[in-house]
Structure formats: C-alpha cells, structure tokens
Amino acid sequence: MADIAAQKARPQYRNIGVNQIVSYRLPPAGIVSILHRISGALLFLLGIPFSLYLLQESLTSEISFQSYRAIVGSIPGKLVLLVLIWAFVHHAVAGIRYLLLDRHVGIQKEASRTSALAVLGITVALTAVLALKLFGAF
C-alpha cells in the first residue's frame, strides 16, 4: 500500500506539445545540449563549404584573391564568420564538457548545472572578444 501511495505522489514527466515549447523552462544543461547540436550542424553544413570556398577563392588567382578579400571584408561576410565563430566556440567548449561528463567528471546535479552555466559564460565571453577582433576593434 505504501508503495502505491509513493508512486502516486511522484511527478510524471510527459512529452510536451508544440505550443508549449516557448514557455518550457529548459535547464542550463538542456540549453547547452540543444545549442551543441545546432552548432555541430552549422559547422558541418555551413562551416565546411564556406571555409573551402574561401580557401579556393584565396588560392586560385589574384582576381579570386581580391574576391576573397571583398567577401571577408564585407559586413555580411563578417556576420557569417561571426556565426561560425560562435558555433565553433560553443561546440568546442560544450564538447569538452561532454568529454569530461563521459569520463564521469562533474556528473552530480549541481556540478553539471555549474559547468553548463560556465560553458554558456565562456562561450559568450570568447565570442565577444573574437567579434571585436573580427570587426577591427583591436
């Protein structure tokens, strides 16, 4: 009897509906996780083709080198690079956290929450410094 009462008192977590996504309060580790997937996809789908295209433009001829310089010097080009910089920084920092978690380092609830917040903070700080460099602040 006591077992049944305990089972009834336990909270139940079900899949949420599409209209509940916006109001769903994701914990920091959940935010890091979804951003890790998004950043991995961005690096693969946008980062590899864009880097190879820039490499080709920079090497093919003097004229293509000028086009490479125009692309990386333009605001849209820099914004694409900034997205890729954020994606790489987040993916690398979160990836190191996952490798540590895989080694059972910091798997306790509080430690995992702290490391997730650290990933988000380090990513924002590093991306901000690299953005300032990209836009010529120093």
Q: Which positions touch ligand HEM (CB under 6 A)?
A: 36-37, 40-41, 43-44, 47-48, 91-92, 95-96, 98-99
User: Closest approach of Cβ 112 to ligand HEM, in Å?
Assistant: 14
> Nearer Cβ to ligand HEM, position 70 or 99?
99
| DSSP of the chain | -HHHHHHHHS----PPPGGGTTT----HHHHHHHHHHHHHHHIIIIIHHHHHHHHHHHHH-HHHHHHHHHHHHSHHHHHHHHHHHHHHHHHHHHHHHHHHHHTTTT-SHHHHHHHHHHHHHHHHHHHHHHHHHHTT--
> Nearer Cβ to ligand HEM, position 28 or 95?
95
User: Closest approach of Cβ 115 to ligand HEM, in Å?
Assistant: 14
**Residue with the CB atom nearest ligand HEM in the bound state:** 95
> Nearer Cβ to ligand HEM, position 70 or 105?
105
User: Closest approach of Cβ 34 to ligand HEM, in Å?
Assistant: 9
> Nearer Cβ to ligand HEM, position 44 or 53?
44
User: Closest approach of Cβ 109 to ligand HEM, in Å?
Assistant: 19
* 3-state helix/strand/coil string of 118-133: HHHHHHHHHHHHHHHH
